[in-house]
Homo-oligomer: A and B are copies of this chain.
Amino acid sequence: MQCYNLVKTFLVINQMAITIRDIAKCAQTSVSAVSLVLNEKWEKKVPKDTVARVKQAIKKYHYVQNPVGRGLALKKKFRISLGIYGSLMEHPLIGAFSFHELLSYVASIISQSGYAIDIIQVNTHHGIKKMCDEIISNGNDGIIFLGWDQKVIKNILHKIERISFPYIVVDCNLNDKSLSYTYTDMSASTEIAITHLIKNGHKRIGFIRAELSKSRFLPKLKGYKMAIKKCGIRFNDRLVADNSNPNPILSGYNACQKVLSLRPKPGAVFCSDNLAALGVLMFLKEKKIKVPDDLELIGYGDLTFANLAIPPLSYVCRSIMEQGKKSVQFILKRMEKKRDNSSQQIRFDEELVIQGTCR
């Protein structure tokens, strides 16, 4: 007893954590009972008054389970990998994909669930095999894939397929029922945006391509074509302004110049990325073209850049938050019951937000 007290004094000095044994001692029961209470498995096993005492002790000492001890017993690491294609830095400005929003939501839910994050920034110059190694080697409980190119990630997943670890690819339509991913139908939402412009009376609608990635551009172009076709407007490829400038704002600026040099001038423009739309607005301001009176503009992306625009952009709003939230929930569930490794595809719809740049 003397010894025990000594040990505890030492522990307190060093701010060592309270363990399950301390709680058991305090609640005058066994370690097993405490564990059952902690994991909500006490029913029909531990009497209610014991449960109450345990809960009291937990509160008193601000006890939290040590994920390391728990992990060893459960053969889990309580770590989730965030497998990112390229570095975090490369992403924020590419392809209307807001890492801030996504990370913020994902991180918050993961942290609340007691998991830690292992951010793996995969070198895009590596081959598939090396990428696989980078991603899997740490053997975490699950992987959330962010910001991947459709082809690359498909390739990787099929290579490591038989390893049935929980994973989900966020915001990437893999068109493959054997894989798990979340995605949006970019064609459908672009169609809605273009239809809106047509309803506003426009027949010549410019299309500004901002992203380099074909897999992100082509679905939007498809939606554009579908919308005009339904309204009996013929497709004119000169209205599609392509610009490969790596600076998205500059790319929008240049492409807008191109589109507006056409005669007759288009009365509306769809810009496939909000950041590029900032460049479009810059060009319009310079040329004193009034928005939305002389030209209507609809962007595509997330709230952050849309609301930085002057006036605030009308835009197709990406469902980043929901995708982040659902992805984590999915993977957390998978990690609970490891046997279930059926695939799942989760579709999200995008919403047209009307603000200052169109009627």
Using a CB–CB cutoff of 8 Å, the interface residues on chain A facing chain B are: 15-17, 62, 64, 66-69, 71-72, 75-77, 79, 87-89, 91-93, 99-101, 103-104, 107-108, 110-111, 116-121, 137-139, 163-165, 247-250, 253, 279, 282, 285-286, 288, 304, 307-308, 310
Contacts and interface: CB of A to CB of B under 8 A. Distances in A.
A304 B120 contact: no
Contacts of A103: 88, 103, 119
Count identical subunits in the complex.
Answer: 2
- The prevalent SS among residues of A at the interface is mixed
Nearest to A99: B100
Nearest to A62: B137
A87 B139 CA distance: 29
Nearest to A140: B116
Contact of A137 (B64, B104, B279): B64
Nearest to A281: B282
Contacts of A87: 104, 108
A125 B110 CA distance: 22
Contacts of A119: 103, 107-108, 110-111, 117
A253 B79 CA distance: 45
Contact of A304 (B92, B101, B165, B279): B92
A99 B98 CA distance: 13
Contact of A104 (B88, B93, B104, B117): B88
Given A72-B68, A249-B308, A304-B93, A111 B118 contact: yes
